[in-house]
Amino acid sequence: MNSTTDSGAASLSELSVLVQSLGSPKILVVGDLMLDRYVWGDASRISQEAPVILLKADRSEERLGGASSVASLLAALGARVDLCGITGEDGASHRVRSILDDLGIGHKSVFADPSRPTTVKERYIGRAQHRHPQQMIRVDYEDCKPIHKNLEERLLEAALASLEGVGCVQISDYDKGVCTPGFLIPLIREARRRGIPVLADPIRGGDWNKYSGSSTLTPNRLEAGLAVGRTIETVTDALAAGGELLEKFGLQVGIVTLDRDGMALVRPDGRAHIFPTRPRQVYDITGAGDMVMAVLGMVLATGADYPMAIQLANVAGGLEVEKIGVQPVTIAEILSDLHTSGATLPIRENGRGKIALESEIGLLVNEARQMGRRIVFTNGCFDLLHAGHVSYLAEARRQGDFLVVGLNSDASVRGLKGPTRPVHPEWARAAVLAGLEAVDIVTVFGEATPLSLIRRIRPDVLVKGADYRLEDVVGGDFVTSLGGRVHLAPLEPGLSTTQALEKTRTVEKNPLAGMGGNETRAGAA
């Protein structure tokens, strides 16, 4: 693959403008419709009848799932959605149609099949001590046999008739029998003939030839690994898999979603990029893939390019995992997250560059070690980079040949420094550190201490400031047990982020306080 400096990454302001101009594109969603049921309650004791947790239910809820979930997420973003699929002929079917009506989602191309039940996923969610809800068990009601030929023909006819004015076709395949080759292949062919982008969220395993000719697929690392016949452990693996999928299935671009590590994008000319996402507090991964799919389709339907679509999909997917169950992410939430978190993390070309994902840091360090380099590690918040930081990092680099800097995430900084910190978001702090010659790799970690990161890196030298005692350095015992050493670097007197912020606040309250002695006396005179 060819390296390039043109990643197509959008700035924060460009992404914000795009979000506000998405409008109401028409999108056709085809695939497996489902009904998601949630039963909530307190899980506070063990049943007397059996050694199982007793859930004292206090409320229940029904939401759309599968392809209908993608449709609902698109509708919440403002899209005009037509849905094509099947249900059973039962109470769950009536409930699905009622919710579709409430959301304004067109379903004239949703047909009932009396030979099968409507797919239902029933989740039981318990709260420990009246808080911290967690999914306890899921019960599925379904029939996954392929649909009958006559129903397949009816679906295809309805889908083709719905293509007029469509900005994107989204295929949501959960392997429940709707997405047959006889349905998808002619639909994809006609959509592409009309210049309509086609996105397919593929099944896990099985024959993917039915998606051939799609604009792109959105497999996760496990699904992509099964498709190419090997495990995807690193971003380099993901980029290679994306290129294989692109060629094998005649795609416009290859995409592999990498959960907390973001997304990999490969273009036909060999250009390849990793689009990172920032660390999140994960409450429930349910619906994250659907959310990513919805935003990709929404953005591509407006004519925007893949990098912009992926960056916004990363943001929306991250917001989704912070919710319990599948809940819509709104335009307002995406805009708020863009402005408060700095969503445009620097793009790493072909899995290389100075800013590394935590999941790949081990591989990068091992490569450096195999080249005979002595690995040095240090960490910090590096909120307002000043001359003391520059001197400290240069001193750290002199202790070896390859300096890895662990950067506290925004959440981690808040936990250490309080709610007013950090001043700059992690993506901006990482970009500034990466610009220093002394720094070889920057990686963000979300824990309060870097101990797990140190264990993964196994540095030869661990560096902290001289204001620490050797016995207080986190990870020091581990490093010395491997034969490494801890180095306490001297600090520049009078230089610290806390002092700089205090001085700024003082000057804001009394502008004269920021002047030197002579200037202050002159002003007073």
Candidates 105, 112, 99; CA nearest to 82 is 105
- What average pLDDT does the segment 224-229 reach? 94
pLDDT band for position 107 (cuts 50, 70, 90)? very high
Alpha-carbon distance 230 to 241, whole Å?
9
Distances in Å between the Cα of 147 and the Cα atoms of 85, 97, 207, 346, 362 are 10, 20, 17, 45, 47
- Burial of residue 93 (number of CB atoms within 10 Å: 0-12, 13-18, 19+): buried
Strands (E), 312-458: 348-349, 355-356, 375-380, 402-408, 441-445
Q: How far apart are CA 139 and CA 522, in angstroms?
A: 79
pLDDT per residue over 59-94, tens digit each?
Answer: 888 989 999 999 999 998 889 999 999 999 999 999
Q: Is the pLDDT of residue 501 over 60?
A: no
**Which residue has better confidence, 482 or 7?**
482
Classify the C-alpha dihedral 351-355-358-363 as positive or negative: positive
Q: What is the mean pLDDT of the chain?
A: 83
Tokens of 434: 């990466």
* Cα distance between residue 84 and residue 430, in whole Å: 45
For the chain, list the domains and their CATH numbers. 12-36+64-118+144-345 (3.40.1190.20), 355-493 (3.40.50.620)
Whether 290 is catalytic is yes
Element (H, E) at 336: helix 331-341
Q: Are 491 and 392 in contact (CB under 8 A)?
A: yes
Strand partners, 216: 199
For residue 344, is pLDDT > 50?
A: no
Catalytic residue selected from 113, 259, 290, 460: 290
Residue 423 predicted with pLDDT over 90: no
